[in-house]
Amino acid sequence: ELSSSFCLRIFKIIVIGDSGVGKTCLTHRLWSGRFPEKSEATIGVDFREKVLEVEGEWIKIQMWDTAGQERYRKSMVQHYYRGAHAIFYVYDVTDERSFQSLPVWIEECRRHSRGHDVPSVLVGNKCDLHGASRVSGDVARKFAELHGMPFFQTSAKNPQVSDNPEDILAMVAQRLK
């Protein structure tokens, strides 16, 4: 019952990755069940909250999106990482550079989590696109294994073609408990 949600345990999930990989669209998909209209995607939100049932317990998930502040991350980074319970590392499967940026993001998260082992997942987004250049799923899976994270390939635009974003969130929520 939502009226008693004030006493639910709250878990903070942060979404990390290069600008343009689809972090905002993925967050929007998870919260509204839709791919955002252009105008909606530009609205800057600190975080969105959702109440989820995980193995019989209701918990509150707070999902933090960077709202296009990647460029200013030096100044907002502390606030963003503080108290994170889980991390979504996102890259764009059609953009090799966004995959190559991952070690930098992982290193930055490590620096801010002060030795805590924060549950993380690797998410390749935009699987609906069939461009010529593509990050190999095998290479990405090996990278995820190396860093001890589950690996998913998804599409915020068309979840049917790939792993469903909702299943990824449910799996992460289960690990939080």
Residues in the site for ligand GDP, rule: CB under 6 A? 19-25, 41, 125-126, 128-129, 155-157
**Which C-beta is closer to ligand GDP: that of 5 or that of 19?**
19
Q: Which of Mg ion, ligand GDP, none lies near 156, with the C-beta cut-off 5 to 8 A by kind?
A: ligand GDP
Candidates 34, 53, 18; CA nearest to 123 is: 18
**Which C-beta is closer to ligand GDP: that of 39 or that of 78?**
39
Q: Which of Mg ion, ligand GDP, none lies near 29, with the C-beta cut-off 5 to 8 A by kind?
A: none
Q: Which of Mg ion, ligand GDP, none lies near 41, with the C-beta cut-off 5 to 8 A by kind?
A: ligand GDP
Rounded Cα gap, residues 62 and 163, in angstroms: 21
Token representation of residue 38:
């252009």
Window 62 to 91, contacts with Mg ion (CB under 5 A): 68
Q: Which of ligand GDP, Mg ion, none lies near 155, with the C-beta cut-off 5 to 8 A by kind?
A: ligand GDP
**Which C-beta is closer to Mg ion: that of 59 or that of 87?**
87
Rounded Cα gap, residues 55 and 142, in angstroms: 30
Report which residue's Cβ sits closest to ligand GDP: 22
Rounded Cα gap, residues 140 and 64, in angstroms: 24
Buried b (16+ CB within 10 A) or exposed e, 109-142: beebbeeeeebbbbbbbbbbeeeeeebeeeebbe
Choose which of 12, 16, 22, 24 interacts with Mg ion (CB under 5 A): 24
Judged by CB under 5 A, the number of residues near Mg ion is: 3
Candidates 66, 48, 55; CA nearest to 11 is: 48
Question: Does residue 125 bind Mg ion (CB under 5 A)?
Answer: no
**Which C-beta is closer to Mg ion: that of 29 or that of 59?**
29
Q: Which residues bind Mg ion (CB under 5 A)?
A: 23-24, 68
